[in-house]
Structure 1
Amino acid sequence: AVQSTSIFAEGVQIPPSRLAEAGVINETFLQLILRNVREPELLRGDLESQLAACHTGAEGLRALATRHGVERLASLNDELLDYSETLLRAALAEAVPGTYEFIDHVDDDGLGSGPIPIRVRVTLSDSGIELDFTGSSPQVDSALNATASFTRSAAYAALQGVLASDIPANSGFYRPFTFVIPDASILNGQRPSARGARGLVGFRIIDAVLGALAPVFPDQVPAAGEGGPDGIAIGVVGADGESVVLWDPLAGAWGARPDRDGVDGISSLGANLTNTPIEELERSGHIRIDGYGYLPDSGGAGRWRGGLATFRDMMLLSPRASVQIRSDRRKFLPYGLAGGAQGTPSLNVLDPGGPGERVLESKPHFVMTAGTRHRHVTAGGGGHGRPFERAPERVREDVLDGKVTRAGAERDYGVVITEDGAIDASATAELRGQAL
């Protein structure tokens, strides 16, 4: 929960410990872990899958050592690390040296305080790349605090997303980096600060680093996306006393790219998630999904349009549920680039359209009862390039696809679409001429 105020509220803290040794499971340790989660059989399956993956990897490594010899394998590993470093330094050498700054924000900490600035200064020089996060927010009272290692990881991800995808992601890639991460900041929280919801800050670190790099790599950096998948957790205690947790990480949109539109309904650069199928959510019998799709006019306008916001309408079927939502980009919208418009804000609404309709904050923790309905909307992605430079035919296609309304086409792009779906060339020329 975002509202945790201490690491001691976030579960058992486990130091590095062996789950298995010499092929034998430490059953006492395994049972300790399983007794501290709400759905132990799911976790058991996850752990067994990871053990199987580790076993497969170990067998492959042994086969390589047998084939090439230990010394030769170690030498090849060193060459691979040096190769990654060489490729990264070559890519950075194409950039103009200098210091580039950007600041982005998390709306609030979920406890009423905010906004929360994430500031970065990226310095490119012959020695490599330095990221200085001085000026970012002090650590907060809620669970949004990141660790220094997590901050570095998010920064690496941003660079990997910008540069060529064929640079191997290993420790050689990281050698040219140096970091300045203030102690006791939201990017380097100190014990006993809570940290369980730090993923949101990681997404914003990526947005800030990309924003700083946009002038350096203008043909490679996209506008901001929805700000990271929103997390909707629904906790239900069944009639048999067993706990069920339904977690719906709702992914929204990418920002527009320098040469094409943003992608709709896809996880951000900083996460490896996908939207949960309706059938999977409804299988428990605790909730019903009444609506799921995209919202027209929600992608930031630009020569290239931002990805659309995703909405999900849910009704609770069980007598009672505890709901925790981690979302953002309500106040600080996804930024556009090169004259592109901002994206649209996220939204949480209870009983939408009903007499008791109530707009909730972006990080609420509340109780729902049977028959209560909830709508969640992710933010829409930012646009790239000036909207009136978008090809009218692309605007027409968006209108026909339901991604842009006729009113939105006229308002945001200066393109008039007739009722039969044609472009009114004279009216469009007049609108665009007035705008220019």
Structure 2
Amino acid sequence: MTTISPVTVEIIRSALIQAAEDMNRALIRSAYTPTIYEGKDCAVALLDRNHNVLGQSSGLPIFLGNLEECTRYTENLLGADCWQPGDVWVLNDSYIGGTHLNDCTVFAPIFVDDELVGFAASRAHWIDMGSKDPGGSMDSTNIYQDGLRFPPVRLIAGGVEVPDIMRLVSLNVRFPYETLGDMHAQVACARMGAKRLGEIYARYGSDTLAAAREEIFKQTDALERERIREIPDGEYYAEGYLDNDGVNLDTRLKVSVRVIVDGETMRIDLTDSADQAEGPVNCGAAQAVSAARVGYKLLISPEVSLNGGSFGPLDVDVRDGSLLGAREPAACQYYYSSLGMLIDLVVKALSDVVPERIAAGSYGDSMIIQFTGDDPRSGKPFVTLEATVGGWGAWDGEDGETALINNVNGSLRDLPVEVVETLYPLRVHEYRIRKDSGGRGQYRGGNGVVRKYEMLADLDLSLWWERSVTPAWGAAGGESGTPPRVTINPGEPDEVSMLKANSRRVTRGTIIRCESGGGGGFGDPAKRDSAAIERDVAVGMVTAG
């Protein structure tokens, strides 16, 4: 076997991560919709021949160690000889990739000197998949209502676009120009990955690269096991409840996390979670595994970079037919509510044995607001999609973060007010910190935000806001954060509050006020430093008195 110096290993490690970052930039800069080029609702990975991660860019953590499931499934289904130079594939099946149908994974095999050496993969949110409602339905009850569903199929064969697939997509989505534009941005991303990995092979050669890869995986595995050994052996449990499934509004859904630590290995058991629901809160097992990995990395080894050696000591159990391991025909459009809860619950389960690492609960959900309709300025149809920032939990020594995207979404960003008002018939009258929404404690939970919209045309409103039944919990004596709230026409005779809605008609002049939840506090509120309280009042984080 090739002997390799530690310096070369680190150079190659950084080169692989940078290659993934270059892929991500190519995707974002080429995208046609603000969901990707502004919101950055995407993630990319560079994989080796065995579908192990070589490098993954910053992006949505919820796709952590998940993109390779698509390439692995395709190979298992069609055989290793399915991979041909110049091909680019797409897959969005919720029961394989785990997410909703809007999240399309585009991937391509990478060949060097006619030998398959790896894969370039990206996942990005396409704004419409032909679901029963534009953009996606908050009340779908089966996968067929969620839209166009791809098994692994070639978009490009031998370097040539497959026209039948292009026509199929164009015919089945409401915004074909933008959708095909984003699809081609993902193709560009794949080609960038092939270019960058080819350059690394050309510089170092296959033997050196193979030796570096094995050393990187070995080092990472050893570090992961070292971190797990620091946790006392035992079985630890936490649970929480989703508000509802979007269809049965009075039905609470349990998310259950049992963490078993045994020496240098960990198992996260999700099998006691609720059965798959009628509404669209379900996800495929691959995505539940990915969320469990996010919770693990967040708490156990956040400083260790992600690669093919990251999850050897971790097993995740998911029950087939459950909320987190859905079977056809379960609807999966809003799959991530249970996963945000799951990530927080991994931390909560271990809070008593690693108190120095844990934080209180976060606001925890994407808190989606979506508008659809015809823009009177152009006469053209449009669909918006906005995730909302909120408050994170405090920890021992620091207040929680205010106005930060939830832990499911990572690098995702809320849309700037200027972009919203330029692209859509909306006016944003208010965007500010939601004072007093963070839980009290020796360290205060982060605050949510208030965002107020005015309709400049008759539109349809859809909402998916969560975590009112199980808001962000406090830790070590801290108080819970304030739950979210959405109000239509606040202060008017027709005022109404709701957290979920599907294509609800709102007329020109209607006001929508959205208030995201705060994070939980940490420690006894009576122990909070008086100077910190004065500072909070002065900068508008809390109310005086």
The TM-score, its normalising length taken from structure 2, stands at 0.72
Map 1:26-175 onto structure 2 (within 5 A): 26-111=162-247, 112-126=249-263, 128-175=265-312
1:314, CA displacement in angstroms? Answer: 0.9
1:18, CA displacement in angstroms? Answer: 1.7
Q: 1-side partners of 2:366 and 2:349: how far apart? A: 22
Q: Secondary structure at the match of 1:248?
A: coil
Aligned residue for 2:444? 305
Letter in 2 for 1:369: T
Kindly indicate whether the alpha-carbon contact (under 8 Å) linking 2:375 and 2:425 is maintained by their aligned counterparts in 1. no
Q: 2-side partners of 1:254 and 1:4: how far apart? A: 30
Aligned residue for 2:542? 404
Q: 1-side partners of 2:162 and 2:216: how far apart? A: 35
Q: Secondary structure at the match of 1:197?
A: coil
Letter in 1 for 2:336: G
Map 1:266-281 onto structure 2 (within 5 A): 266-271=404-409, 272-281=411-420
Percent of aligned pairs with the same amino acid: 29
The superposition leaves residues 181-204 of structure 1 with CA deviations (integer Å, 9 ceiling, x where unpaired) of 111110111100000110112111
Q: Secondary structure at the match of 1:174?
A: coil
Pairwise CA RMSD = 1.7
Kindly indicate whether the alpha-carbon contact (under 8 Å) linking 2:438 and 2:444 is maintained by their aligned counterparts in 1. yes
Q: 2-side partners of 1:137 and 1:37: how far apart? A: 33
Aligned residue for 2:381? 243
Letter in 2 for 1:287: L
Letter in 1 for 2:392: W
Q: Secondary structure at the match of 1:42?
A: helix
The superposition leaves residues 394-423 of structure 1 with CA deviations (integer Å, 9 ceiling, x where unpaired) of 00000011111112xxxxxxxxxxxxxxxx
Letter in 1 for 2:430: G
Q: Which one of 328, 336, 341 corresponds to residue 204 of structure 1?
A: 341
Say if 2:355 is the partner of 1:355. Answer: no
Say if 2:343 is the partner of 1:182. Answer: no
Aligned residue for 2:369? 232
1:213, CA displacement in angstroms? Answer: 2.2
Q: Secondary structure at the match of 2:309?
A: helix
Letter in 2 for 1:306: G
1:309, CA displacement in angstroms? Answer: 1.5
Q: Secondary structure at the match of 1:388?
A: helix
Aligned residue for 1:255? 393
Q: Which one of 421, 428, 431 corresponds to residue 282 of structure 1?
A: 421
1:180, CA displacement in angstroms? Answer: 1.9
The superposition leaves residues 269-317 of structure 1 with CA deviations (integer Å, 9 ceiling, x where unpaired) of 2103212111111113511111111121111101111111211111111
Q: 1-side partners of 2:142 and 2:303: how far apart? A: 41
1:364, CA displacement in angstroms? Answer: 5.4
Q: 2-side partners of 1:162 and 1:146: how far apart? A: 23
1:91, CA displacement in angstroms? Answer: 0.5
1:147, CA displacement in angstroms? Answer: 1.1
Letter in 1 for 2:316: F
Letter in 1 for 2:418: E
Kindly indicate whether the alpha-carbon contact (under 8 Å) linking 1:145 and 1:194 is maintained by their aligned counterparts in 2. yes
Kindly indicate whether the alpha-carbon contact (under 8 Å) linking 1:330 and 1:362 is maintained by their aligned counterparts in 2. no
Count, aligned residues: 406
Say if 2:453 is the partner of 1:317. Answer: no
The TM-score, its normalising length taken from structure 1, stands at 0.89
Q: 2-side partners of 1:277 and 1:294: how far apart? A: 15
1:337, CA displacement in angstroms? Answer: 0.7
Say if 2:374 is the partner of 1:374. Answer: no
The superposition leaves residues 6-65 of structure 1 with CA deviations (integer Å, 9 ceiling, x where unpaired) of 000011111111222333332331332233333333323322222222212211211222
Q: 1:266 to 1:35 in 2, by over 3 A?
A: farther
Please say which structure displays the higher CA radius of gyration: 1
1:247, CA displacement in angstroms? Answer: 1.3
Q: 2-side partners of 1:38 and 1:261: how far apart? A: 44
Q: Secondary structure at the match of 2:316?
A: strand
Q: 1:166 to 1:156 in 2, by over 3 A?
A: same
Kindly indicate whether the alpha-carbon contact (under 8 Å) linking 2:226 and 2:264 is maintained by their aligned counterparts in 1. no
Letter in 1 for 2:270: F
1:210, CA displacement in angstroms? Answer: 1.5
Q: 1:365 to 1:225 in 2, by over 3 A?
A: farther
1:363, CA displacement in angstroms? Answer: 4.9
Q: 2-side partners of 1:269 and 1:256: how far apart? A: 14
Q: Secondary structure at the match of 2:172?
A: coil
Q: 2-side partners of 1:74 and 1:32: how far apart? A: 40
The superposition leaves residues 128-150 of structure 1 with CA deviations (integer Å, 9 ceiling, x where unpaired) of 11111132111100110011110
Map 1:409-424 onto structure 2 (within 5 A): none
Q: Which one of 161, 164, 174 corresponds to residue 25 of structure 1?
A: 161
Kindly indicate whether the alpha-carbon contact (under 8 Å) linking 1:147 and 1:188 is maintained by their aligned counterparts in 2. yes
Letter in 2 for 1:54: A
Q: Secondary structure at the match of 1:19?
A: strand
The superposition leaves residues 351-400 of structure 1 with CA deviations (integer Å, 9 ceiling, x where unpaired) of 10112111224455511111111111111111111111111100000001
1:172, CA displacement in angstroms? Answer: 1.5
Letter in 2 for 1:273: L
The superposition leaves residues 112-141 of structure 1 with CA deviations (integer Å, 9 ceiling, x where unpaired) of 242111011100002511111132111100
Q: 1:254 to 1:314 in 2, by over 3 A?
A: same
Letter in 2 for 1:23: G
1:212, CA displacement in angstroms? Answer: 0.9
Q: 1-side partners of 2:143 and 2:200: how far apart? A: 42
Q: Secondary structure at the match of 1:85?
A: helix
Bigger drift between 98-107 and 13-22 goes to 13-22
Letter in 2 for 1:4: S
Bigger drift between 14-23 and 234-243 goes to 234-243
Bigger drift between 342-351 and 162-171 goes to 162-171
Letter in 1 for 2:408: G
